[in-house]
Amino acid sequence: MEQNRCISLLGSTGSIGRQSLDVIAACGMRVAALTANRDVEQMEKQCRRFRPELAVMMDPESAASLRLRLADTPIRVAEGMEGLLEAASLETADTVLTAVVGIVGLRPTLAAIRAGKRIALANKETLVCAGELVSDAAAWSGSQVVPVDSEHSAIFQCLQGCQDRGEVRRLILTASGGPFWGWKGEDLAGVTVEQALAHPNWNMGAKISVDSATMMNKGLEFIEAMRLYHMPPEKISIVIHRESIVHSLVEYCDHAVLAQLGVPDMRLPIQYALTWPGRVAAVAEPLDLLSCPPLTFHAPDYVAFPCLALALEAARTGGTATAVLNGANEEAVGQFLSGQLSFSGIAEQVAYAMAAVPAVQSPSLGDILDADQAAREAVRRHRPNTH
């Protein structure tokens, strides 16, 4: 079944971006704009296949290279944040899929919302850092925000028949536990980058793979759930579900629990975000209940995985505490990936930044961006005890 949507895809060369293009092609959708950071070779291939009117490279040198490569096409090439903002608000696009990683996705997502675009949101940092601003902007413009994360897509689907959010007793986020579930603190101290990137169930980019390994990813999703569904922290729970078959659940006031199940394939929630409120023939493989493993559930270990506890602390504090958490984590994960920091040091750096940077309540966009920068600077100047 063809869909008439026209997509601006922000972050097209990453893991989510590439899978999104699989869905877009299978569903017969059009592409208005593609954006990436530095991967010129991959971007050229995507542009020649999908023929967007606009291609954006965040890196100026990469943009110059892409212009030369696409000189025989009518595709216009822009660069930097200005180009990203243009792609997010392009008139011909009705839907903006934000698959960029990090707080760099905040400004273009807000620009797309203010332009009244439908948002397929895969950039969790936008809601983590500025959930209230996003909600206010969407209420003003009438923009629809549909989540792409598998857990939030599951909750979104389980809430489709809910007319009154007061009927919801609890949102239950499932977590795979990452590659180190069951390990203790002393075991985690010597974790290598290669081990952290080896997720047992999902094929993801480097940053989100590390976040899954520390369980920070689930903490960020906890904050996202608060913002997306306007739920207080006490009405959100996390359970470890190693098989990644149940993607999340909603418990109602009568204790009925609805769950969304499926194979661990990000193309399923991407497709739902792009086709909602309809459904079309699947790109992902079907779930065979007769061959899937037994489904198990466990309580999180907040001691072995302190990043999860820090995220819940930031969620309860509110204001810019969540931006500090996110900025510090992005910086610390970068240090870990480059070999400057141990795996256990990630949590120590985040805790240091949260203690060093005061939280501002009811923040403006400027307050949020300032908090992000202050958190990053705190991590850069601090030398953790964990090596």
Enumerate the known binding-site residues for 1-deoxy-D-xylulose 5-phosphate. Answer: 124, 150-151, 176, 199, 212, 217-218, 221
Q: In DSSP terms, which residues pair with 205 in a beta bridge?
A: none
CA dist 295 and 359 (Å) reads 40
Token output for 321: 């505490």
Token output for 380: 């850069």
- The 8-class DSSP code of residue 293 comes to P
At residue 137's C-alpha, the angle toward residues 83 and 270, to 5°, is 65
Residues with Cβ within 8 Å of 213's Cβ and at least 6 positions away in sequence, in order, are 178, 179, 180, 191, 195, 196, 197, 199, 343
At residue 362's C-alpha, the angle toward residues 361 and 363, to 5°, is 90
Binding residues for Mn(2+): 149, 151, 221
Q: Are 7 and 96 in contact (CB under 8 A)?
A: yes
Binding residues: 13-16, 38, 123-125, 149-151, 176, 199, 205, 212, 217-218, 221
Q: Are 213 and 179 in contact (CB under 8 A)?
A: yes
Residues with Cβ within 8 Å of 187's Cβ and at least 6 positions away in sequence, in order, are 180
Residue 105 burial (C-beta neighbours within 10 Å; 0-12, 13-18, 19+): buried
CA dist 250 and 172 (Å) reads 6
At residue 173's C-alpha, the angle toward residues 332 and 216, to 5°, is 5
Q: Are 143 and 239 in contact (CB under 8 A)?
A: no
- The 8-class DSSP code of residue 91 comes to T
Token output for 368: 């949020």
Token output for 375: 């958190």
Helix axes 206-214, 343-356, angle to 10 degrees: 80
Binding residues for NADPH: 13-16, 38, 123, 125, 205
Q: b vs e for 114-130, b when ≥16 Cβ sit within 10 Å of the residue's Cβ?
A: ebebbbbbbbbbbbbbb
